[in-house]
């Protein structure tokens, strides 16, 4: 029936009379259109106006509507920003490979699209001509489905779109957009009413973006929430404006934390929750051939952060063996001058200080990826990973480059003592716990591990892992010695780097 309508016939019956429709396509144009639409139906999933369509007939109907809405323009197609990956919500056009009035064939690259993970080529599916470019190349973010260009089949038709504006092609969009607010408006507004009487449900009532108990958000939104200091998106209760209520980066940028007027209510909730926080973790749950061990909220949050970082940050690793003989001699000298009561400088303290000193020589490693820029920090704040399991923490030592070894050692020891003295189910308190530094160090030597490739903690760009200290036999480099080999004390250090911030040469120079 779609094809028959395009040809200007009143019905598909072979015995019926044919009545041309005013403004309808010619037979040749309709045939080319139907063939072009059939090719596009080969994909199992299409995107129109930001919505993914799995029904080919629905897609064909939209294509048909696009073809016959305005008789003042020649037959054309409004091309939207494509969804080039399963998680892509928006992208930017890095470069147009075709200009207005230029012909292309199937397989030609129309433009290069940058997503939050990679740069992907957008290939043409049919032959045609670029009649009008609606979205210029640049850093502006374009949502999937938003118009980026107009294509026609004949070169002679391209001139008709010289003064074409985006509003004309986006006219059909408001109807789907207007359909989304009704479900979001009544529920969230009505929910706070009972929350006035009972404070705890206030935080749990608004969750319009949850699907099956999980808040759906783009990777960029998750990362932006952490960079702005809001914490995990699941705790913010943001109403998403993306497709199907998905939280996008713009929602996070517009998010305003609760006002100070809510402080009294929050204090009540905190006081009520304090006894509950001191309760021990839930007991293990035995099953048929297995046992489930419930995790604490802190452990779940760490797991979520590490999983997101591993997926989002392009890691690469550099490893080097370090000779510690001179460092051990320095440690003995410093501890001897401090006296037996105050002696406490460890090899780990010396390596923390060495890492900060290396940052002075290579400051570009003390940086963070900020999406559109790289932020280089003036001071080196080191997160030192201690503990394991539910008791895994990374207290921060501020301004390591400007402090002495004894001060660094005292702060690390104080953080470890706070963890040991913390009650079960309650995390340690203090200024060292909570803030994110600019660099992370972990030492697994106590477990006999030779080397480890650590996961970078966003938004940091580097993380260093140290292995066990061991005696090794190496070639003797002393020209005056008669011995061919000698024994030295060594440790293996592995540096994980974010390739967006620190390339291989910079990471090697730092290490």
Cα distances (angstroms) measured from residue 260 to each of 26, 205, 228, 230, 264: 66, 20, 18, 16, 9
Joined together, the tokens standing for residue 52 give 């993914």
Please give the sequence-ordered ranges of beta strands (E in DSSP) within 236-366, or none if there are none: 285-286, 291-292, 315-323
For the sheet with 103-104, list strands across it: 76-80, 147-152, 128-133, 103-104
Which of these, 145, 110, 112, 147, lies nearest to 127 by C-alpha position? Answer: 110
Q: Are 105 and 124 in contact (CB under 8 A)?
A: yes
Residue 463's SS3 state is: strand
Residue 503: active-site member: yes
Of residues 230, 308, 315, 499, which has the active-site annotation?
499
Q: Are 169 and 147 in contact (CB under 8 A)?
A: yes
Please give the sequence-ordered ranges of beta strands (E in DSSP) within 174-293, or none if there are none: 210-211, 214-215, 285-286, 291-292
SS3 content of the chain, % helix, strand, coil (to 5): 35, 20, 40
Rounded CA gap, 209 and 184, in Å?
9
Sequence-distant (6+) residues with CB within 8 A of 212 are none
Which residue numbers are catalytic? Answer: 499, 503
């Amino acid at each position: 029936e779609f094809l028959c309508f395009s040809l200007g016939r009143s019905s598909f019956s072979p015995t019926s009379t044919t009545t041309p429709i005013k403004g309808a396509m010619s037979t040749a144009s309709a045939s080319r259109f139907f063939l072009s639409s059939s090719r596009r139906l080969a994909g199992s999933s299409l995107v129109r106006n930001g919505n993914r369509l799995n029904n080919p007939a629905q897609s064909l109907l939209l294509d048909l509507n696009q073809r016959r809405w305005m008789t003042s323009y020649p037959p054309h197609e409004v091309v939207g920003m494509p969804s080039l990956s399963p998680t892509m919500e928006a992208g930017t056009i890095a470069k147009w490979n075709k200009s207005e009035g230029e012909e292309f064939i199937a397989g030609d690259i129309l433009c290069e699209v940058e997503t939050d993970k990679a740069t992907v080529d957008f290939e043409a599916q049919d032959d045609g001509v670029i009649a009008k470019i609606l979205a210029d190349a640049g850093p502006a973010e374009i949502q999937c489905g938003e118009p980026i260009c107009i294509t026609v089949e004949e070169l002679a038709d391209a001139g008709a779109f010289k003064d074409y504006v985006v509003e004309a092609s986006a006219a059909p969009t408001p109807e789907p957009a207007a359909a989304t607010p009704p479900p979001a408006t009544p529920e969230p507004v009505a929910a706070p009413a009972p929350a006035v009487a009972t404070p705890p449900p206030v935080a749990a009532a608004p969750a319009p973006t949850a699907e099956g108990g999980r808040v759906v958000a783009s990777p960029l939104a998750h990362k932006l929430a952490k960079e702005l200091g809001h914490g995990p998106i699941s705790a913010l209760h943001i109403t998403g404006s993306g497709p199907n209520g998905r939280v996008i980066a713009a929602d996070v940028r517009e998010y305003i934390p609760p006002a100070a007027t809510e402080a009294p209510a929050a204090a009540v909730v905190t006081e009520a929750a304090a006894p509950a926080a001191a309760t021990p973790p839930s007991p293990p749950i035995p099953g048929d051939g297995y046992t489930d061990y419930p995790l604490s909220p802190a452990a779940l949050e760490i797991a979520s952060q590490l999983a997101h970082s591993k997926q989002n940050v392009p890691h690469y690793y550099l490893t080097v063996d370090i000779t510690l003989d001179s460092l051990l001699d320095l440690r003995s000298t410093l501890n001897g001058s401090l006296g037996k009561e105050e002696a406490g400088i460890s090899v780990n303290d010396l390596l923390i200080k060495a890492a900060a000193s290396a940052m002075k020589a290579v400051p570009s490693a003390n940086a963070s990826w900020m999406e559109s820029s790289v932020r280089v920090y003036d001071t080196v704040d080191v997160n030192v990973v201690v503990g394991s399991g539910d008791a895994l923490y990374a207290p921060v030592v501020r301004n390591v480059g400007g402090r002495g070894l004894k001060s660094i050692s005292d702060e690390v020891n104080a953080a470890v003592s706070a963890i040991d003295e913390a009650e079960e189910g309650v995390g340690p308190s203090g200024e060292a716990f909570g803030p994110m530094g600019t660099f992370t160090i972990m030492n697994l030597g106590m477990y006999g591990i030779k080397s480890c490739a650590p996961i970078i903690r966003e938004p940091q760009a580097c993380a260093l892992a140290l292995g066990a200290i061991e005696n090794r036999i190496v070639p003797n480099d002393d020209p005056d010695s008669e011995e061919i080999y000698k024994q030295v004390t060594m440790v293996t250090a592995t540096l994980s780097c974010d390739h967006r911030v620190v390339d291989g040469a910079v990471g090697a120079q730092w290490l």
